[in-house]
Amino acid sequence: MTLYHSLLNFPTRSGVSVEYFENGRLKQLDWNKYYNLIRQVTFSLHRVGVQKQTRVGIMANTCLQWGLLDMAIQSLGAVTVPIYHNSTADEINHILNDSGSQFLFIQNVRDLTLITSQNQKKTKIISLHQQVDDVLGWNEFMELGTPEENWFESLEVPNDSELATIVYTSGTTGQPKGVCLSHIQIMSEVEEAFSWGISSEDKTLCFLPLAHVLGRIEYWAHIYWGYQLAFSEGIDRLRKNLTQCKPTVFIAVPRVFEKFYEAIMAQMESLGLRRKVFEWALLVGKSVSEYTLYQRKVPLQLALEYELADQLVLSQIKKAFGGRLRFAISGGAPLNPQITTFFHNCGILILEGYGLTETTAAICVGRPTQYVIGTVGIPIGDVQIKIAEDGEILIKSKKVMMGYYNLPDETEKVLNNGWFSTGDIGEMTPTGELRITDRKKDLIKTSGGKYVAPQKLEALITESPLIQHVLVYGDQKKYVVVLLSLKDEAALLSEDELSDRLRDHIAQVNSQLASYETVKKFATTQDQWTVENGLLTPSLKTKRKKLINKYKSVLESLYE
């Protein structure tokens, strides 16, 4: 079975299927119109020459057309090759050449400048917007002909073991590697990752890049489970879109929840006398949260206080997420437990999940009925987890990739007797949840022979409202140092005040660490670390190797 079979059920579904914005206005499609659009896109792909196993690249922001194309490509048994819209020219051309993509859909014709003479395959380009010269536009593409009756329904069903997509990992070092996923991996994920808590009555707001496997899973699950999906206008309009679309489930990465938290804290600082009411409401929410976490009944008096706290304060925070949220899911990177706890106190449940591109996204996720803050939940479906002697997490599941495209040696390194080596260090709790403690390859070994986990330090240090990102350094050194990338707020402080506050914060962090883990010295930079300048991955993880190369002299000076 593939997602093509789910598409064939569309005409039997009722109600709104998708919402999307066009020129700032929210529009809707029912399931039948949605189905006909996918049929037309599939036929147009067929007319331009897409066949079984043809590689088709998509380099665009998250939008309705992206989803239509992905479903049409899979329906023909072809292969979707997603490319991040903010990729560099070198990355784009590496992916096109490595995958052998014969077609590429781009956001607009301005992206043509990124597709250079390095593109050895001479990929045919189609624009999602206007037609220019020999680049076909979306309207012209959609008018290539009308499929005959039952043409779509009579397509040869893709074999579920065939390659469906090559998803290139953003990676923290080196060139992107193509993760090969078949229809087996896709169906295993969509059937099991959401079976515990989502239905056709739900609605999500899709804003994550569809080049990222987490964004794809949200879209694929919508196709399979039949819930309503709204396409956001983009990260810059996310807060407004949440209040417009009112999702019941919200899937995001940690940085989104961090920004909401920071905005709420900043607003609290400006409340003046009303701040006491805000703080009281949070204390009441915290008390209720503790009863909820331990599945105990809330006392009547506390329940009455909570009702008032909700009316005065907490409901306003919930409205920022649309006001109908049943739960949110955070994936892609660790979420600070302090932030999870804060939102739980406000009545917003954030469930953490864990997975990799190589595992078709989630292999663990918390459940509304079983979650422990600070863990990434329990295994889903057929997932088996084993912790190796060195602490590395090993996975066995249908969700594990076929392998890396054109990289048999790299595949062999991570796949052994059906077990996939994640590269992450973790442990299982007594109640069955998985806790991630670090990245195996990121572990720092000091010259004293002690191992230091950078993620632990980064999580503690970024609790400061002045610090945006942290680079932990010290491999084969006598002690650990850090480089701090500061937020804009830091520029408002005098040099002495900033230095004092950072020093005090580092001292407070050190008080929670073993002596060999403590930060002995630090340096700061107000340089922005972004995806665009290549210092962060698209999932907002730091590219340690590039950062170390860029700031090597600064880091080494801390040992003088």
Within-domain flag for 415: no
- What is the tally of helices (H) and strands (E) in the chain? 18, 26
| 210 and 310 part of one domain | no
| 10 and 155 part of one domain | yes
Within-domain flag for 474: yes
Q: In whole angstroms, what is the distance from residue 519 CA to residue 498 CA?
A: 18
Section 303-321 average pLDDT: 95
Confidence (pLDDT) at 392? 94
Q: In whole angstroms, what is the distance from residue 41 CA to residue 44 CA?
A: 5
The overall longest dimension of the chain from CA atoms, in Å, is 76
| 195 and 59 part of one domain | yes
Last residue of a domain, one of 248, 282, 306: 248
Confidence (pLDDT) at 172? 47
**Closest among 402, 33, 355, 26 to 217, alpha carbons compared:** 355
| 97 and 153 part of one domain | yes
| 11 and 122 part of one domain | yes
Within-domain flag for 399: no
pLDDT value at 209 more than 60: yes
Confidence (pLDDT) at 173? 47
Last residue of a domain, one of 209, 230, 248: 248
| 185 and 273 part of one domain | no
| 181 and 315 part of one domain | no
Confidence (pLDDT) at 174? 60
Per-residue pLDDT tens digits for 441-468 = 777 878 776 778 788 888 889 888 899 9
Within-domain flag for 109: yes
Tokens 């043509």 locate to: 112
Last residue of a domain, one of 248, 279, 301: 248
Section 163-167 average pLDDT: 98
Section 355-382 average pLDDT: 95
Within-domain flag for 462: yes
Within-domain flag for 387: no
Q: In whole angstroms, what is the distance from residue 111 CA to residue 163 CA?
A: 27
Confidence (pLDDT) at 543? 84
| 219 and 263 part of one domain | no
Is residue 222 a contact partner of residue 230, using CB atoms and an 8 Å limit? Answer: no
Per-residue pLDDT tens digits for 227-281 = 999 999 999 999 999 999 999 999 998 889 988 998 898 888 777 778 899 999 9
Q: Which helix (H) or strand (E) holds 57?
A: strand 55-59
| 14 and 64 part of one domain | yes
Does 390 or 65 have the greater pLDDT score? 65
Predicted model pTM:
0.84
513 burial (CB, 10 Å; 0-12 / 13-18 / 19+) is middle
Confidence (pLDDT) at 459? 84
| 432 and 459 part of one domain | no
Section 462-482 average pLDDT: 89
Does 165 or 275 have the greater pLDDT score? 165
Share of the chain above pLDDT 70, in %: 98
Instruction: Indicate which CATH number applies to the domain containing 540.
Output: 3.30.300.30
| 207 and 266 part of one domain | no
Say how many domains are in the chain: 3
Within-domain flag for 388: no
* Domain range for 370: 255-323+325-382+425-440
Within-domain flag for 496: yes
Q: What is the mean pLDDT of the chain?
A: 91
Per-residue pLDDT tens digits for 431-448 = 999 999 877 777 787 877
| 237 and 285 part of one domain | no
Instruction: Indicate which CATH number applies to the domain containing 85.
Output: 3.40.50.12780
